[in-house]
Structure 1
Amino acid sequence: MVSTFSNNRLVKNVLSLGIVQVANYVLPLLAIPIVSRIIGPEKFGIINFVSAFVAYFTLIIGYGFNLTATRKLAQNPTDSQMRNRVFSEVFYAQIILLVFSSIIFLICLFFVPALRNEWEVSIFTFIVCISTLLTQDWLFQAMQDLPKVAILNFVSKFIFIILIILIINHQSDYIWYAFSLSISQILVSIISFIWSINRYKLKLYKINISSSIALLLEERTYFFSLVVINLYTSTNIVLLGFLTSSAQVGFYTAAQKITIIIQAILILPLRQALFPFMANKIKENVDNGIETAQKLLPIIFWPALCICIGTLFLSKYIIQILYGSAFEPAIIILQILSFIPMIIALSNIWGLTVMMNLKLDKIYFRITSISAFNSIILNLILIHYFDVIGSAIAWLLTELITLSSIFFYLNKIKIQLVGLKYFNPRYLKGLLLTYYNK
């Protein structure tokens, strides 16, 4: 039983990330009751609309290297020359992307009224892109040194919460919310960059522009899959901002933030730890890798189901405690979104962890592209008839379509990822006891 899993490193990575991820998101949760009651739904909506817009640029700069560079280096992480080469290629490519993104952002700042009218928030939010360049999470993932990622994220959130408590005192202070978030992340990313260079003895090789562009072209498939995923996770906020009011955006993002926090605590530790782990497993033996995915499924499914059910029934109290009575319309939105973390958790196991490691990148991109197109159509139709409720329904339907498409494709090519025997409580108990005793 245990032989089908990796050594203690996987368990250590998952547990350490899980524990610190809880801390990462408990701290911001402490700030939400303060901030939301001071700035109100409208200003809260403005902040999150701009954040969703800037998310396109952080996505461009990140370019999916957290998975593609991780996959490349995880196959031989002890090779120092390869490590330096990948580090240099990624860094120079991201510099090009940062320059490109800055130019496009400035153009948007002048010509998009929603950004121009809130130019301070827009600029303060955009500078977070610097941290995307300097953060080396992909390197820590490939080296399976994930506790470092979690600790650095914790420090970032701690600095952010201190700044928020000190700075946000009046509704007009909402512009400093974005500034505090960006500065805290930039400071920690600088520390991360310097630390990773010293820790892994990294050397920056000279990479010409043509090589950087070649790398971007090589990894474009997964990047475009991230773009289309973003179309149905962030674009709904942008569409709400253009088609409804800032207050409606505030209600939606209030509920969405809770959903994302649950996702981060539930999914991120597993995804970051499992991707390099599964890359090695599938490289060694595809059948054993698939069996490992089958065994992991119930371990993720049951906790996710319980958390989602709890969110559904406790939505009213969660919104009232965190945001106050002014955000009451967010309750039904949170109820609609309550099962999304579980759906995304399954999509991550089958899509990112399995399909990407089986080099089914193009198929995965095709699935997510269709889902993104469906998301835009659903949002345009449902927002027109149901406003913010329609956008929540559109996101839920889109995630269900994505999960179903991944499941049916893998079954079509004879990859069975659901092993019913592994859902047996006795098996799960034995597995957990084995890890605990080990």
Structure 2
Amino acid sequence: MFKNKVFENIFSLGISQIANVAFPLVTMPYVSRIIGPEGYGILNYSTAFIGYFTLFILYSFDLSGTKIISRNIQDKEFVSKAFSEVIYSRCILYVISSILFMISLFFGEVLHKDYVVSIILFLGLLSSVFSPQFIYQSFQDLKIFSKINVVRGFINMILIFLFVKTKQDYFYIPLFATVFNVTINIGLLIYAKRKYSLQLMRQPLNKLFTLIFNDRFIFISNVLGAFRATTNTIILGFFVTTKEIGYFTTSINFLFVVVNVLFIPISTAIYPFISNAFSKSTEVGNDIVKKIVPIITYFYFIICLCLLIFSPFLIKLIFGEKFNESIKILEIVSFAPLTMGLCNLLGVQVLLNYNFDKLYFRINLFCNIAGLLLNYYLSKKFGYYGAAWNIIFIDIMIIILCFCFLKKMKINIINWKYFSPKLIMLNLASIIKAKRLS
């Protein structure tokens, strides 16, 4: 059906993300009307906070692990060694996270107020420890994710309709997610171990800590990227009510649903494709990037335009009249898919493939510090509208800085002739015709 691994993986991940989104969209109107904005606020606040631990445990291994394994895919002993290092390193990070979580649970008012939800979500982090995505991505074998996510989503949807009946039942939502995620990831890990003949080998602690240290720049960059996505909610919580947090997180979570369905499959699939091109030469890699830039730009621009136009209809249809305040917020951030897509393209796909890890880290660090200060000011002065505008401002800042540094290093990733619709179709066809990644 597919002529190359890139589009096969995009299709598989796309189905997986659609399953992750479609089933929650079915339950969302039902759940939102039962638990209300306050229930959503509590659940989303805890989820945003636990998200930091998820990033810490996943570290940068989905990028660095994928890169190193895919380049040594024929060496079974090396692959098993890298596989073991990643799993054991995540175990260390989970132990550290457990200590930090207990401290946060004791001193954090919101987390302590609904500690059951917080504990359930934290236990769900075991799914991150055993996440086998880097293995399947290295072998470019992601079809299984789409099949499993469809089954999981359907069962989860049925259970929510059966058990969530009152406002107090909202804890079932993270409970079902935790049980399914942990069980599925452990199962996929065992399956990958058998399918690819992987051995879980003991690794000395000093080697694991060395691995964690060496990957620090990519990890911190990932954290800073997520920091932009979740910190708005945390800081906004200092100045507004739980109900207003519910309005804000409703729009932002819906936005991220759109972004994840379109963004994750594309960015995950083109990363090894672009990396492979750069392994041949920087000229080949840069030419591929020049062809991809207009495709990504036009695609995300159309999505943003649709999101802007249909925001009122979507919010009312999915969440109901009680969430009308969320419409304006969604309109403000409607062009975030484009800015986020360009941030990923310039940062992960270009800077990291040029081995500018430190530069990528510094850009993210500067923009996040600026964003933190700006977010505090905008949230305090304008409430959730200010927090929404902050998302767009920081993405634009990152895009501008990336372009400026690339220009300073005389790296040109834009060829305006490739923005012609005719050439876009020709370039897209040339990518599809590639039989496989070498």
Q: Displacement of 1:211 after TM fit? A: 1.0
Instruction: Please give the secondary structure, in 1, of the residue aligned with 2:410.
Output: coil
Structure 1 window deviating more from structure 2 (150-159 vs 296-305): it is 150-159
Partner of 2:250: 254
C-alpha spacing 1:350/1:108, structure 2 compared with 1 (3 Å): same
Give the Cα separation in 1 of the matches to 2:35 and 2:338: 31
Equivalent position amino acid for 2:323 in 1: F
Alignment of 1:232 onto 2:228:
yes
- Which of residues 109, 113, 135 is equivalent to 2:109? 113
Quote how far apart the aligned CAs of 1:264 are: 1.0
- Once the 2 structures are TM-superposed, how far is the Cα of residue 217 of structure 1 from its aligned partner? 0.5
1:32 aligns with 2:48: no
Q: Identify the residue that residue 133 of structure 2 maps to in structure 1.
A: 137
Displacement of 1:161 in angstroms is 2.1
Cα deviation, 1:170-207, whole Å, max 9, x if unaligned, reads 11111211112211211211211111111111101110
Which one of the candidate residues 166, 177, 188 is aligned to 1:192?
188
Q: Distance in 2 between matches of 1:422 and 1:62?
A: 36
Unaligned stretches of 5+ in structure 2?
none
Deviation of the 1:232 alpha carbon: 1.4
| Aligned equivalents of 1:137, 1:155: Cα separation in 2 | 18
Contact 2:4–2:433 under 8 Å retained in 1: no
Identity of aligned residues (%): 33
Deviation at 1:423, TM superposition (A): 1.4
Aligned residues: 433
8 Å CA contact 1:152, 1:192 repeated in 2: no
Whether the 8 Å contact between 1:233 and 1:395 is mirrored in structure 2 is: yes
Q: Say yes or no: does 1:330 pair with 2:315.
A: no
Are 2:119 and 1:123 aligned? Answer: yes
Cα distance in 1 for residues equivalent to 2:89 and 2:429: 45
Aligned 8 A contact 2:16 2:145 in 1: no
Cα offset for 1:7?
Answer: 6.6
Which residue of the partner structure matches residue 3 of structure 1? none
Map 1:82-97; keep pairs closer than 5 Å. Answer: 82-97=78-93
Aligned partner of 2:361 in structure 1 is: 365
Q: 1:301 to 1:151 in 2, by over 3 A?
A: farther
What one-letter code is carried by the residue in structure 2 that aligns with 1:379? N
- What letter is aligned with 1:349? L
- What letter corresponds to residue 260 of structure 2 in structure 1? A
Distance (whole Å) between structure 1 residues aligned to residue 8 and residue 39 of structure 2: 41
CA contact (8 A) 1:83 1:202 kept: yes
Verify the 8 A CA contact 2:19 2:146 in the aligned structure 1.
no
In structure 2, the CA distance between the partners of 1:101 and 1:435, relative to structure 1 (3 Å rule), is closer
Aligned to 1:173: 169
1:62 corresponds to: 58
| Separation in structure 1 between the aligned mates of residue 8 and residue 115 of structure 2, nearest angstrom | 44
Change (3 A) 1:54 1:271: same
The answer to whether the 8 Å contact 1:231/1:376 transfers is no
Counterpart of 1:321 (choices 306, 317, 321) is 317
SS state at 1:365 partner = helix
- Return closer, same or farther for 1:156/1:375 CA change in 2, 3 Å cut-off: farther
Q: Look up the match of 1:303.
A: 299
Aligned to 2:48: 52
User: TM-score if structure 2 supplies the norm length?
Assistant: 0.95
In 2 relative to 1, CA 247–373 (structure 1 residues): closer, same or farther, beyond 3 Å? same
Check conservation: 2:3, 2:432, Cα contact below 8 A.
no
Which residue type is aligned with residue 81 of structure 1? Answer: E
Contact 2:232 2:375 in 1 (8 A): yes
CA distance in 2, matches of 1:59, 1:151: 25
- Are the equivalent residues in 2 in contact too, given 1:146–1:273 (CA < 8 A)? no
Q: Which runs of 4+ in 1 moved over 6 A?
A: 435-438
Match of 2:259 in 1: 263
1:434: Cα distance to partner? 5.5
Secondary structure (helix, strand or coil) at the match of 1:267 reads helix
Query: Cα 1:409–1:153, aligned 2, differ >3 Å: closer, same or farther?
Result: farther
Please give the TM-score of this superposition, normalised by the length of structure 1.
Answer: 0.95
Secondary structure in 1 matching 2:237:
helix
Distance 1:436 1:79 in 2: 29
How far residue 351 of structure 1 moved from its aligned partner, in angstroms, is 0.8
Q: CA deviation at 1:281?
A: 1.1
The reply to whether residue 147 of structure 1 matches residue 128 of structure 2 is: no
- Mark the CA change 1:152 to 1:219 in structure 2 (over 3 Å): closer, same or farther: farther
How far does the alpha carbon of each residue in 1:187-240 deviate from its partner, in whole angstroms, 9 at most, with x for none?
211211111111111101110111111111010111111222222111111112
Contact 1:128 1:183 survives alignment (8 Å): yes
Alignment CA distance shift 1:367-1:436 (3 Å): closer
* CA contact 1:140–1:149 (8 Å) conserved in 2: no
Q: Is the 8 A contact 2:294 2:419 kept in 1?
A: yes
Q: Residue 229 of structure 2: SS of its match in structure 1?
A: coil
Q: Deviations over 1:127-171 (max 9, x none)?
A: 110000111111111111122334344444333323222221111
Counterpart of 1:210 in structure 2 is 206
**Residue type of the partner of 1:391?**
A
- Paired with 1:435 and 1:54, the residues of 2 have a C-alpha distance of 39
SS in 2 for 1:243: coil
Contact 1:75/1:280 (<8 A) preserved: no
CA 1:434/1:231 → structure 2, altered by over 3 Å: closer, same or farther? Answer: closer
Name the structure 1 match of 2:159.
163
**How many Å separate the matches in 1 of 2:423 and 2:375?**
42
Q: 1:74, 1:279 within 8 Å by CA — same for their partners in 2?
A: no
Q: 1:379 touches 1:394 (CA, 8 Å); kept in 2?
A: yes
